[in-house]
Structure 1
Amino acid sequence: MLFHVRMDVRIPHDVPAETAARLKAEEKARFQELQRSGKWRHIWRVVGEYANYSIFDVDSNAELHDLLLSLPLFPYMQIQVQALCRHPSSLHDDDR
């Protein structure tokens, strides 16, 4: 199942810089792990914002939910999720 996810990150200003840096490094490592597994297929930065648009390829709503909860920056995110399905005119066979 494909999902379009927007993530807006809002780390409070009172979080110590060292803590924020550690969380960002842990987030990057987790992201790269999920990208290598094929679960996090694409990510795009939103210009001028601490936000991204991503495409996830997971087996269920519950798997996506658990995956998002596993992100180190999850407590500081506002997340919007939209389920996607293959368009009948798509030329790409991997748009499932």
Structure 2
Amino acid sequence: MLYLVRMDVKLPATLAPAEADAIKAREKAYSQGLQREGRWRHLWRVVGEYANYSVFDVESNDELHTLLSQLPLFPYMQIQVTPLAQHPSAIASAITAN
């Protein structure tokens, strides 16, 4: 199942810079692992914001929830999830079916 996920990060001003850097390093390692596995298919930065749009390819709502809640930055995120389905006019399905 494909999901479009918007993640907005809001780190508290009181978070020590060294701690913020450590959290970001863990976040990068975790997200890159999921990308290598194919479960985090796309990751796009929102220009001018500390936010991203991502596409996840996972088996269920529960799997997505688990992946997102294990993000090191999760406590500092506002997340919006949109389930995706193939559009009948999309040529991508016809190309991959041949």
Bin the TM-score by the shorter chain: over 0.9
How far apart are the structure 2 equivalents of 1:59 and 1:92? 21
Structure 1 residue 89: Cα displacement: 1.7
**In structure 1, what is the equivalent of residue 34 of structure 2?**
34
**In structure 2, what is the equivalent of residue 15 of structure 1?**
15
Structure 1 residue 22: Cα displacement: 0.3
Q: Which has the higher helix share?
A: 2
Structure 1 residue 48: Cα displacement: 0.5
Structure 1 residue 91: Cα displacement: 2.0
**In structure 2, what is the equivalent of residue 73 of structure 1?**
73
Give the % identical residues: 62
Alignment of 1:90 with 2:93, yes or no, is no
The ranges of structure 1 where at least 4 consecutive aligned residues each deviate by more than 4 angstroms after the TM superposition are none
**In structure 1, what is the equivalent of residue 61 of structure 2?**
61
Tell me how large the CA RMSD over aligned residues is: 0.9
How far apart are the structure 2 equivalents of 1:58 and 1:86? 15
Q: Which runs of 5+ in 2 are unaligned?
A: none
Query: Which amino acid is the alignment partner of residue 72 of structure 1?
Result: P
